[in-house]
Amino acid sequence: MRLVLVGPPGAGKGTQAQFLAAHFAIPKIATGDLFRAHVSQETDLGLEARKYMDAGDLVPDEVTIGMVEDRLRDDDVTEGFLLDGFPRTVHQAEVLDGMLAEQGAAIDVVLELVVDDEEVVRRLSGRRTCRRCGHVWHLDFDPPSSEGRCDRCDGELFQRDDDSEDTVRHRLEVYADQTSPLIGYYGDRGLLRGVDAAGPVEDVTERATNALRRFGV
């Protein structure tokens, strides 16, 4: 299955991507995670991307598209994948369609996680990520037993630089202006499935797996 996840920042894409990639046995490709790995390794790409990420803006296509093209050439994604955070504009979607067409492939389904803006702000202001193992916690919804430490590996928990309330509100504007047109793009092609992403994580996972059932192997 070739699956794209779309939804505003904080909709739970990363949280659901983990479950769905495991459930359908497909690799997860998350552009935000790829960028953050470059930032922490201080590569040229990471230094360039960071300026945009910290401001809550999209990283320019010249940087983003090449990085995804490289990843989609890897052997483990020939039979399917889950894309989290790409495409994020109609232009990126058109480029992705072109890349896949060259391989005789196409996107099978696009899952939209639907959640309102105030819930996004609540989710992102409480998000904490483990510096060591990358596990994502939430101070209210999925709290670690001690505030600054990961229960899984005892690593230090940190708050992402782009999760301050002002930056989150700007990311929501960027989503509305630049990413939400994807809903029409994929809707017109009959590829879009929307699920309500409010409520407990397990309930959202169940709705998502049900919506995708007929596309799985």
Residue 38 as a binder of ligand AP5 (CB under 6 A): the answer is: no
Phi/psi class of residue 146: alpha, beta or left (left: φ > 0; alpha: ψ in -120 to 50)? Answer: beta
Q: Name which of 92 and 185 has its Cβ closer to ligand AP5.
A: 92
DSSP the chain: -EEEEE--TTSSHHHHHHHHHHHHT--EEEHHHHHHHHHHHT-HHHHHHHHHHHHTPPPPHHHHHHHHHHHHTSGGGSS-EEEES---SHHHHHHHHHHHHHTT----EEEEEE--HHHHHHHHHTEEEETTT--EEETTTB--SSTTB-TTT-PBEE--GGGSHHHHHHHHHHIIIIITHHHHHHHHTT-EEEEE--S-HHHHHHHHHHHHGGG--
Task: Out of 20, 26, 32, 172, name the contact with ligand AP5 by CB under 6 A.
Answer: 32
171 is catalytic: yes
* Catalytic annotation, pick one of 149, 160, 169, 193: 160
Rule CB under 6 A: choose which of 14, 46, 95, 172 binds ligand AP5. Answer: 14
Smaller CB separation from ligand AP5, 104 or 211: 211
Q: Using the rule CB under 6 A, is 46 a contact of ligand AP5?
A: no
Based on the residue annotation, tell me whether 13 is a catalytic residue of this protein: yes
Which lies closer to ligand AP5 via its Cβ, residue 59 or residue 192? 59
Q: How far is the CB of 167 from ligand AP5 (least distance, A)?
A: 9
Could you say which of 3, 4, 24, 31 contacts ligand AP5 (CB under 6 A)? 31
What is the size of the binding site for ligand AP5 (CB under 6 A)? 34
Q: Which is nearer to ligand AP5, 2 or 88 (CB)?
A: 88
Using CB under 6 A as the binding rule, whether residue 99 contacts ligand AP5 is answered as no
**88 catalytic, yes or no?**
yes
Selected binder of ligand AP5 within 100, 136, 191, 211 (CB under 6 A): 136
SS3 readout for 116-154: CHHHHHHHHHCEEEECCCCCEEECCCECCCCCCECCCCC
Catalytically active residues are 13, 88, 127, 160, 171
Contact residues toward ligand AP5 (CB under 6 A) are 7, 9-15, 31-32, 35, 52-53, 56-59, 64, 85-86, 88, 92, 123-124, 127, 136, 138, 141-142, 162, 171, 200-201, 204
